[in-house]
């Protein structure tokens, strides 16, 4: 009897998921809104480094092309998704040109993240470019080791120990104008941290004869710190970074995430902050590129609203940013979403920044993104249709896989 009940529940979950995926596929026929608001911000000084936020893809890609074109020693480029469209090909062309000039060029992309990208594109890199197509599972017996299910969700560009980029943007024309995301450029000695992070990942997964033998010295920096999830080591400091910062919050938490599926400890930290009077605001895309993640995320909202958390729905386009700023002092920008795949699974990298000036820019960016959103009301949310509640409840166990 228990077995039959379990099978019935699973079949209902699959039916709901299939219906949602069909709805999502029909919705993809509509173009994203390219008129979403965004802020252009000035480069600022944080300690010995200069930081520049990007909230629009075209602006970011121009800056990345400029950095690539001016490279004289090496270029390290890592992207979870690298589409084979004209923008993706332009990155290939510019990298090939620098490799022809003698610049050391290394690139990494994730195999799973690029399953739909044509093989002709992925194999079309200039022979002078060193390419690593990261595969989570490379040996049959690795299917029994959960660490080997981790994807490379990182997005990095490092040039000449002087310039580094990190954030949510993948490479593709879709992201240039149609998605709202956040990326950060850092100029200064902090770039060596990103260089060594790239090398460590490359050397862990490339053939031994292709390892990078250089070492870029790392520095202790009290104002800018890297946090990196390392699946093979079972270390996931980005989650802990968030929890520690949230527990210290006294005034405000402004959180933007593409997918909000936290574990209970992180969720409790946010609820406790709201209960002690912190203004907690969570900005999410109301219709993301993953409809199942949307519905699973919404199963959290009733509890969040009851605790006093403000849930803001972004309707312009896909909001893909992964950022947070707290008390006008602490901020983070990076690749990790607030879901289990990012916080307790994939390879991710975030930078945390202790700077009032930078936090003020992050607040301005959040205010711009929040200018035309809708806020959920606890009473209205409770009155949503019974079949919607049932669907959310049926799918809620899937939160442990997303």
Q: Is 94 in contact with 186 (CB distance < 8 Å)?
A: no
Percentage above 90 pLDDT, the chain = 69
Express each pLDDT in 78-94 by its tens digit: 999 999 999 999 999 99
How far is residue 111's CA from residue 117's CA, in Å, rounded to a whole number?
9
Angle between the N-to-C axes of helices 386-395 and 2-27, in degrees from 0 to 180, rounded to the nearest 10: 110
Query: Encoding tokens for residue 366?
Result: 């959040």
How far is residue 128's CA from residue 389's CA, in Å, rounded to a whole number?
55
| Res. 72: pLDDT tops 80 | yes
Looking at residue 16, its pLDDT comes to 43
368 to 42, 112, 320: CA distances (angstroms): 15, 34, 15
**CATH of the domain spanning 232-401, picked from 1.10.3720.10, 3.30.365.10, 3.40.50.1980, 3.30.870.10:** 3.30.870.10
Query: Residue 21 gets which letter from DSSP?
Result: H
| Res. 4: pLDDT tops 80 | no
Express each pLDDT in 10-42 by its tens digit: 454 445 445 544 555 555 544 556 688 898 999
Query: Encoding tokens for residue 243?
Result: 């929890």
Express each pLDDT in 152-196 by its tens digit: 999 999 999 999 999 999 999 999 999 999 999 999 999 999 999
How far is residue 251's CA from residue 262's CA, in Å, rounded to a whole number?
22
Query: Encoding tokens for residue 164?
Result: 């580094």
For domain 44-221, which architecture applies? 2-Layer Sandwich (3.30)
Q: Is 376 in contact with 311 (CB distance < 8 Å)?
A: yes
Phi, psi torsion values for 77, nearest 5 degrees: -130, 125
> Which residues, other chains included, contact 72 with Cβ-Cβ below 8 Å and sequence gap of 6+?
103, 160
pTM: 0.90
| Residue owning tokens 């607040």 | 363
Mean pLDDT to the nearest integer, 35-54:
94
Q: Is 258 in contact with 285 (CB distance < 8 Å)?
A: yes
**Residue 139, Cα to own-chain centre: how many angstroms?**
28
**Residue 376, Cα to own-chain centre: how many angstroms?**
24
How far is residue 227's CA from residue 238's CA, in Å, rounded to a whole number?
6
Looking at residue 264, its pLDDT comes to 92
Q: Where are the domains of the chain?
A: 44-221, 232-401
How far is residue 250's CA from residue 344's CA, in Å, rounded to a whole number?
27
| Residue owning tokens 């980029």 | 165
Express each pLDDT in 321-366 by its tens digit: 999 999 999 999 999 999 888 988 899 999 999 999 999 999 999 9
Choose the weakest-confidence range: 90-94, 106-110, 120-124, 181-185: 120-124
Looking at residue 31, its pLDDT comes to 53
Mean pLDDT to the nearest integer, 126-132:
96
Query: Encoding tokens for residue 291?
Result: 């409809």
Looking at residue 20, its pLDDT comes to 45
Strands (E), 111-181: 130-134, 156-159, 163-167, 179-180
Q: What is the DSSP string of 5-25?
A: HHHHHHHHHHHHHHHHHHHHH
Query: Encoding tokens for residue 322?
Result: 């992964």
Q: What is the DSSP string of 252-314?
A: EEEEE-S-EE--HHHHHHHHHHHHTT-EEEEEEESS-S-HHHHHHHHTTHHHHHHHT-EEEEE
Express each pLDDT in 239-262 by its tens digit: 999 999 999 999 999 999 999 999
Number of Cβ atoms within 10 Å of the Cβ of 197: 22
């Amino acid at each position: 009897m228990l077995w039959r009940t379990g099978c019935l529940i699973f079949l209902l979950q699959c039916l709901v998921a299939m219906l949602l995926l069909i709805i999502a596929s029909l919705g993809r026929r509509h173009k994203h809104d390219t008129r979403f608001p965004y802020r252009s911000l000035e480069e600022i000084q944080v300690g010995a480094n200069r930081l520049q936020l990007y909230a629009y893809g075209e602006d970011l890609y121009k800056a990345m092309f400029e950095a690539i074109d001016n490279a004289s020693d090496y270029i390290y480029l890592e992207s979870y998704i690298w589409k084979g469209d004209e923008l993706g090909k332009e990155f290939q062309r510019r990298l090939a040109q620098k490799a022809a000039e003698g610049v050391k060029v290394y690139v990494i992309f994730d195999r799973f993240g690029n399953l739909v990208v044509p093989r002709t594109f992925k194999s079309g890199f200039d022979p002078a470019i060193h390419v690593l197509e990261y595969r989570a599972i490379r040996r049959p017996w690795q299917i029994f080791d959960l660490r080997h299910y981790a994807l490379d969700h990182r997005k990095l560009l490092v040039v000449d120990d002087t310039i580094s980029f990190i954030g949510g943007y993948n490479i593709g024309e879709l992201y240039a104008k149609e998605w709202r995301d956040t990326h950060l450029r850092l100029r200064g000695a902090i770039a060596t941290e990103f260089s060594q992070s790239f090398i460590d990942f490359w050397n862990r997964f490339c053939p031994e004869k292709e390892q990078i033998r250089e070492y870029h010295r790392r520095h202790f920096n009290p104002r800018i710190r890297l946090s990196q999830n390392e699946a093979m080591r079972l270390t996931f400091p980005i989650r802990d970074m968030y929890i520690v910062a949230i527990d210290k919050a006294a005034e405000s938490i402004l959180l933007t995430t593409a997918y909000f599926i936290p574990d209970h400890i992180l969720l409790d930290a946010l609820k406790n902050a709201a209960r002690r009077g912190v203004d907690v605001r969570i900005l999410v895309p109301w219709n993301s590129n993953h409809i199942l993640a949307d519905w699973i995320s919404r199963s959290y909202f009733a509890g969040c609203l009851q605790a006093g958390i403000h849930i803001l729905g972004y309707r312009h386009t896909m909001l893909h940013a992964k950022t947070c700023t707290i008390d006008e002092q602490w901020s983070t920008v990076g690749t990790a979403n607030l879901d289990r795949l990012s916080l307790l699974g994939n390879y991710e990298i975030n930078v945390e920044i202790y700077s009032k000036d930078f936090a003020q820019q992050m607040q301005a960016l959040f205010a711009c993104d929040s200018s035309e959103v809708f806020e959920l009301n606890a009473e209205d949310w409770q009155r949503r249709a019974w079949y919607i509640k049932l669907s959310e409840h049926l799918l809620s166990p899937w939160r442990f896989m997303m």
